[in-house]
Amino acid sequence: MNDNIFLGIAAPGIAGLKPYTPGKPVSELERELGISGSVKLASNENPLGCSERAKAAIRVELSQVSRYPDGSGYELRNALAEKHGVDAACVTLGNGSNDVLDMIARVFLRPGRESLFSEHAFAVYPISSQAVGADIRVTPARNYGYDLDAMGSRVGERTGVVWIANPNNPTGTWVEGTVLEKFIAAVPGNVIVVVDEAYIEYVDESGYPDASQWLSRYPNLIVTRTFSKAYGLASLRVGYGLSHPDVADLLNRVRQPFNVNSMALAAALAALDDQAFIRRSVETNREGMAQLITGCEKLGLGFIPSAGNFITIDVGRPVGEVDTALLKQGCIARPVANYGLANHLRVTVGLQEENQRFLRALEKVLG
């Protein structure tokens, strides 16, 4: 679309952007191919759905849809503050955590400043950064994961924000606590460090840090979390940032009024209260991950060990053709060539039968 006739009057940075590519919805695939019963393992959604308590809370809110939501998200913010042992003034609610990432870019980046992240990092970091005209600096990955030494050496005068997804999407790699804290401690206090913990509920690795524990030590640290993944509320769009209250104050100045709707607020609050659902989700993920790993090994395929609810597989050939063939088999996974991983396919851990269907289709396609 670089022949777009309005490009000349668009803000700087927009020309270099491509729209985010989401996973294909099941309905679209089935309409295109005239099939049914396909499986979607493309967007790291929770295959168990969400907590029944969240659904009940949504039903109650239905009677109030003509009213604006509580613009301050009072109850949810207080519940989150209690969960994390921080003041409610440290919590910024977002329309998904992507919204919080976008607020961070708008507050702390601008033309002439640099946004620093790793190769293969989450796609929203460049989108939000370039949209506000910041310069992008990408450090090479090491073994598909973050090279924090390389990142640290690139922090300079112009650096505004450093982004770290832990675990990272789409690689599933993670950074160990002592290494991460050492990195944060070495970053100058006037550079914002974002630790994006979208998948933290799934992580079961010793040495994996909960960066929210460090908030009181590093006022320039922002930790983001989401209800889209383990909590299974992706369509409602609710996430949050935890930070120093002065950082949260600035984020809240650019936050759109009513950015989190009433159903999302109520569902998230109820979901927080159902940790048994989270435990079940984590257990389902653990079993499904083992199943996918065994499947990959049987097929002789390499993969990147993942701490999240997805696994990124080396299919040994350009992933576009593999993806197309899988779609014909009714399997939607996520090719990640746009993340600099030309031969890799990211697959979300699903229910046992979904994983099985995917592995069978993959075998057939690669056969």
Ligand X SMILES: *Cc1c(COP(=O)(O)O)cnc(C)c1O
Q: Which of 169, 284, 309, 312 binds ligand X (CB under 6 A)?
A: 169
CA angle in degrees (0–180, nearest 5) for 60-62-65: 130
Rg of the chain on CA atoms, in Å = 20
Residue closer to ligand X by CB (options 118, 329) is 118
Torsion 50-56-59-65 (CA) sign: negative
Q: Which of 102, 114, 119, 196 binds ligand X (CB under 6 A)?
A: 196
Query: Is 20 exposed, middle or buried (CB count within 10 Å of its CB: 0-12, 13-18, 19+)?
Result: exposed
Q: Is 122 in the site for ligand X (CB under 6 A)?
A: yes
Query: Edge-to-edge strands of the sheet including 91-94?
Result: 91-94, 239-243, 221-226, 192-196, 159-165, 114-118, 135-139
CB of 165 to ligand X, least distance (A): 4
CB of 96 to ligand X, least distance (A): 3
The pattern of x and - marking residues 16 through 55 that bind ligand X according to CB under 6 A reads ----------------------------x-----------
The pattern of x and - marking residues 136 through 165 that bind ligand X according to CB under 6 A reads -----------------------------x
Give the total of residues touching ligand X (CB under 6 A). Answer: 14
Residue closer to ligand X by CB (options 191, 200) is 200
Residue nearest to ligand X (CB): 96
Report the distance separating Cα 319 and Cα 314, nearest Å: 9
- Could you tell me where the beta strands, DSSP code E, fall in 31-77? 39-40
Report the distance separating Cα 88 and Cα 80, nearest Å: 8
Residue closer to ligand X by CB (options 120, 229) is 229
Return the structure tokens found at 248. Answer: 């949260």
Residues that bind ligand X (CB under 6 A): 44, 96-98, 122, 165, 169, 196, 198, 226, 228-229, 234, 239
